[in-house]
Chain A
Amino acid sequence: MDRNKIDKKEEERKLFEELENSEYKYGFETKIDMDTFGKGLNEDTVRLISQKKNEPDFLLEWRLRAFRHWQTMEMPDWAHLKINPIDFQEIVYYAAPKKKKELTSLDEVDEEILDTFNRLGIPLDEQKKLSGVAVDAVFDSVSVATTFSDKLKELGVIFCSFSEAVKTHPELIKKYLGSVVPYRDNFFATLNSAVFSDGTFCYIPKGVICPMDLSSYFRINTANIGQFERTLIIAEERSSVNYLEGCTAPMRDENQLHAAVVELIALDDAKIKYSTVQNWYPGDKEGKGGIYNFVTKRGICKGDNSKISWTQVETGSAITWKYPSCILKGDNSVGEFYSVAVTNNYQQADTGTKMIHLGKNTKSTIISKGISGGHSNNSYRGLVRMTNSANNSRNFSQCDSLLLGDKCGAHTFPYLEIHKNNSSKVEHEATTSRIGENQLFYLQQRGLSMEDAVSMIVNGFCKEVLNELPMEFAVEAQKLLDISLEGSVG
């Protein structure tokens, strides 16, 4: 009998080994001529970026204010994250594919780049475009293509790269840039404000229900590059939009920095639904390499009856640090945060949300599912603030953690601030459970393999969140969950 046991263990070990070594599918590098700055950061770097983009003075001034402020700041020290020191002089702040000439249509985008996005499952060429989804493709520091722009324009929807919006709609940029995440906000947001190179801009005019999902796909390619992009979405009165975001990067032994800022503005009766499937390279199974993902995402429900909903599935990155948040300023406005964060091997995630209730009858819902395997650490950090003006407001938070082994960790840090407000209600529930041997065995006894059993239990655990994703995204997210959890139980 013991002989058989050993055989079985051996077999399991082999299976896990095979799975652990299953390559990060998006880890390839595109060879292409790049126009890039040398490493290093000073005021000239900031000026140079601005100059590259022919930016108006107000923007350069804003960048410089941010940069000067950043120089006075220290990188924060977080209790639950272990971070190799980042040398900001060792980072390349700008890299763009060399343009042969000014592009007038997608047909002129470089073959190599089209090919890269094809391999990532994001076809950009006219014939094969994803139906029903408009894509803005960002390659290192710049947006290389935006699909369906013209079609959207007919409805007054502006969907283009950030750089283009600076040229075509400077008044909107001037009005809204930094209005939700001020340049002084935090170390990484401030750095981003100084050196951001591109990103996505969306503007949905009054009364327009955007007929297709808008999306950005971020690709890091060049070694040592830091990707700093900004997304700005403005939904005017009674408008509504679904926005999706995906990302990947080549496999490298060094850590690479991705520090983005996302600002959402919803006016009266507007709705913004923002979904992310984050699959940056997580590092290898010893914890070498991987993306440092430090992102500031915040939305303001500025108008009455507006709604902002964040959904995220975070499976990649060596370190994820992000708290997509809602400022509920308008009366009756609604904020939602649905999150699945998966960590395996040596990944670390510290994620959560902030719900700031300012308006009357505002409502927020937080559903967070953390799954940890291997030696990983997964923390939820959430703030709910009920100010004294937020009469009759409600929050419901539920934070569940699932542990897949005994070397991983899950931590929950809920912060509640209730300012002289008796009419509002905050509910918080939290659970931590280990994946049940009983559950696994039950499923195996019905014929499912161990891997399928784990996948089924994990998917069940995250169901409330996955249900929030648009259909195609949900399928993708499930696949990613399976891939990131391979070999995690044991």
Chain B
Amino acid sequence: MKVYISATLRSFFGRRTETETQGNTIRKILKDLTDRYPEASKGLYGDDGNLRGFIRIFVDDEDRTDKSFHDDEIADGSTVLLLPFIAGGAPGESIIPDERRKEVSLDDSEIDRFSKHLLLREIGVKGQKRIKAARVCIIGAGALGSPVIQYLAAAGVGTLKIVDSDSVTPENLQSQVIHGTRDVKRPKAASARDTVRNINRNIDVTADNTRVEADNVMSVIEGFDLVIDCTDNYKTRYLLNDACILSRIPLVYAAVYQYEGQVSIFGLKGGPCLRCIYPEPPAPGLVPTCAEGGTISPLSGIVGSIQAVEALKLIIGIGENLGGRLLTVDTLGLKSKFLNVSRNEHCPLCGNSPSIYEPEGFNYEEFCGLMKEEEEIPVEGYTAEELAEKIESGEPVTVIDVREPHERAVKSFPGASVIPIGQLVRRMNELDPEHDTVFICKQGLRSILAIHTLREAGYKGPMYNLKGGMDAMKDIIFSNEAGWL
């Protein structure tokens, strides 16, 4: 078989460009060539025994470099080409400037501790110093925060700030692996800080109990090199995006829901922000927050670990990061894909003529279409106890459950009719305007939206909200519960 060898591979094969070889498969041809040019073997193959990245094998204009083609028989009269693939590019830009890197040093114990990083030539001592010099602010010490905080601490990030205003509850322990059973009722930020100290005492770690709001988000992230969004609600997500873009701090964004997650990086030079992709938050009330919706336990581990890797890549300045791309991960179908996203010149925040100059101080309730407008009739409601009493006393009352099917599977309300929020208006005639109707959801927010929606649609019957939702019903047991089922 005649093989054409590019002259650019001359240091392996000499100046010969065409040679007759034994064999009619790529494997046999390569064997014959390396037998005749023993020096070439070192050039063609890496230490792992695979062809080096810059070698390409073509058969009649078709790229046949992949091993899976190597045993295919090559037709007589075909031309086999041995060609180079030339690639390279500018070194990645670290978000930690050289001056900051030079200010830190690694002692013997650190050389020991981080030796697995130092062995990677893309990281090495310089990269590890950058990691040590980095100041990273993590918003949320929950499911996503758990892997992010622990991996960044273990990787040697010198300064960490953990911001979370919640306390640990037993249901958190299913996915928030930074906390343990003993941490229940403790503030999440403090519990996470203790885990970090347990990993490495030398890390400068701060726990911050602040609830992130429009008036404090700028100061919460001030002075940090990188912010990681590990929150579970749209309000904080948009606040962080706005604050990071306005402060020119890159943001590693992620969100998880049920079995799916997405990750991206916002605020890089020339890259997009969250509002470039979603200028406004999703349709009010219809998307349950993660706190309401539920996720499979390891999902946040996967997605949070990707956030941690992206954070380290930005700090060291290596690799192809997720700037300009949105990675989606589907753990149920075990699929992932990239969506290219670019800066939108009409973006209200980072576009050519922006309209947002400070973090948008929207109210969550307003944001979700739940805020009571001035002229709006307030929604009346019952507490869990009041509703239970009403039902126990035998008063005629219709209960409408507006939750999604998977939420009802966890705990159903005895005797309730089920009408998902999206079908309410269409199925309005199923309601009896002569009787009281009580609307329930998980936390008592979507049920308010349900009532407003029906009022707007012209429903005239008396409507009540279950305050605090099913979560508040937890401890109530009906004496005749069996009769309801």
Q: Is the A/B pair a real complex?
A: no
